[in-house]
């Protein structure tokens, strides 16, 4: 997003309508807007849209995918939700092209220490 927080899409959303509510939406808060969403960084403004949630709020979509934050991402650059299989389907970072980034973060073979 414009603050550097990671945005995710969920494989269980098979259209531009969100299926993440209740406990799911607590762990994966939707990216909401009260107006027209605006693009920043490498995002393509023509891919932005909105979808109406059950409570009437408007969730931002990108290339037809509803967008979400992850509650364990607490600072810009965090991607703790990448590849998580929460609530029955995988969660992926969304690329500027609007497609899921399905690669997992790699861990150094040295166990986390770089020599």
Helix residue spans in the chain (DSSP H):
23-27
Q: Which residues pair with 91 in a beta bridge?
A: 10
Which two structure tokens, joined as six digits, stand for 35?
Answer: 């107006």
- What does the buried/exposed string (b/e) look like for 9-30 if buried means 16 or more CB atoms within 10 Å of the residue's CB? bbeebeeeebebeeebbebbeb
Residue owning tokens 């023509």 = 46
pLDDT in tens, 46-92: 999 999 999 999 999 999 999 999 999 999 999 999 999 999 999 99
Q: Please name the helix (run of DSSP H) or strand (run of DSSP E) that holds residue 27, with its range, or none.
A: helix 23-27
Structure pTM? 0.88
């Amino acid at each position: 997003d414009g603050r550097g927080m990671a945005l995710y899409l969920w494989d269980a959303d098979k259209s531009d309508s969100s299926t993440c509510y209740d406990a799911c939406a607590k762990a994966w808060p939707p990216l909401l807007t009260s107006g027209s969403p605006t693009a920043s960084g490498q995002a393509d403004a023509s891919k932005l849209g909105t979808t109406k949630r059950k409570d009437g709020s408007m969730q931002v979509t990108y290339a037809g995918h509803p967008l979400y934050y992850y509650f364990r991402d607490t600072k810009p650059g965090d991607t703790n939700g990448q590849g998580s299989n929460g609530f029955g389907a995988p969660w992926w970072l969304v690329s500027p092209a609007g497609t899921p980034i399905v690669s997992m973060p790699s861990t150094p073979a040295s166990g986390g220490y770089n020599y």
